[in-house]
Amino acid sequence: MRITIITVCYNRKNTIEKAIKSVLSQNYHDVEYIIVDGNSTDGTKEIISSYSDKITQFISEPDKGMYDAINKGLKLATGDVIGLMHSDDEFYDKKALTRIAARFEYEPNIDGVYGDGVYVSNDLQERLIRDRIGGVFSIKKVKEGWLPLHPTVYLKKSIIDKHGLYNLDFKIASDTEFLLRYLYKYKIKMSYIDSYIVKMRMGGMSTSFKRAFEVLQEDYKIYKFHGLAAIGTVFLKKTIALRQYIVH
């Protein structure tokens, strides 16, 4: 089974190499690695190019934002299963893809898998900030504001071809719309891996406190778009998130 990993980036020279090394160090080797850069100007492209012999496809051109870049990667992907590695993030350990592949092989009828993740501080100490334990999937949980951590979600290419790409009408929280569409609207079959998959750094587009209000607004529109009780569901979603922060 071939797994496609997509990394999208723009001016991420301080973190992109860690993300690349994290993918290349996985002990699962049937991997297609695609990097989509938004025409960076800070040296990011040069760092990526230094790994050109190990990257399956690399494109660098202007885009309409992160989700447009992800869509470009999805259109290029040829693997049986597709997942994302954001440019600020890393796999939790070297066996993450092996565990993902094993679950698909053990449960051949599932459409996707997800697992756990952690958020760490964006500094050398990498202090644990937030613990995201996915837990067993249920539609009831989705209706109450729960969603799996986006970078831990791996889906079969066939199901993405069937249900579509990221909606570019949403600039900050299109991942929420994508997951709701797949999990709530189309009710795809998901399997939970009780293991950490990814380590995320605070400060990216989706984790910046400065963008929290904008995310809240988009979340409201997205839940309303999918026919859910938007105010109540978004409130529950944010309540779940607050409980995940680690008190030091």
Q: Is 69 exposed, middle or buried (0-12, 13-18, 19+ CB in 10 A)?
A: buried
The rounded distance, in Å, linking the Cα atoms of 225 and 35 is: 31
Q: Is 236 a residue whose pLDDT tops 70?
A: no
Share of the chain above pLDDT 70, in %: 88
Q: Is 38 a residue whose pLDDT tops 50?
A: yes
CATH number for the domain that contains residue 53: 3.90.550.10
Q: In the prediction, which pLDDT does 221 show?
A: 87
Q: Is 202 a residue whose pLDDT tops 90?
A: no
Inside any domain, residue 248: no
Residue 227's pLDDT band, with cuts at 50, 70 and 90, is confident
Mean pLDDT computed over every residue of the chain: 90
Q: What is the average per-residue pLDDT within 32-45?
A: 98
Inside any domain, residue 223: yes
Type of residue numbered 32: E
| Residue bearing tokens 């891996």 | 193
| Residue bearing tokens 């963008």 | 211
DSSP state of 136: S
Q: Is 219 a residue whose pLDDT tops 90?
A: no
* 1 CB-side CA count, 13 A: 21
Listed in order, strand segments (DSSP E) in the chain are 3-9, 31-37, 57-60, 81-84, 90-91, 112-120, 128-132, 154-156, 190-201
The residue ranking higher by pLDDT, 58 or 247, is 58
The residue ranking higher by pLDDT, 211 or 227, is 227
Chain-centroid distance of CA 193 in Å reads 15
Inside any domain, residue 194: yes
Domain containing 207: what range? 3-243
Q: What is the average per-residue pLDDT within 118-127?
A: 81
Domains in the chain, number: 1
Q: Is 244 a residue whose pLDDT tops 60?
A: no
- pTM value is 0.90
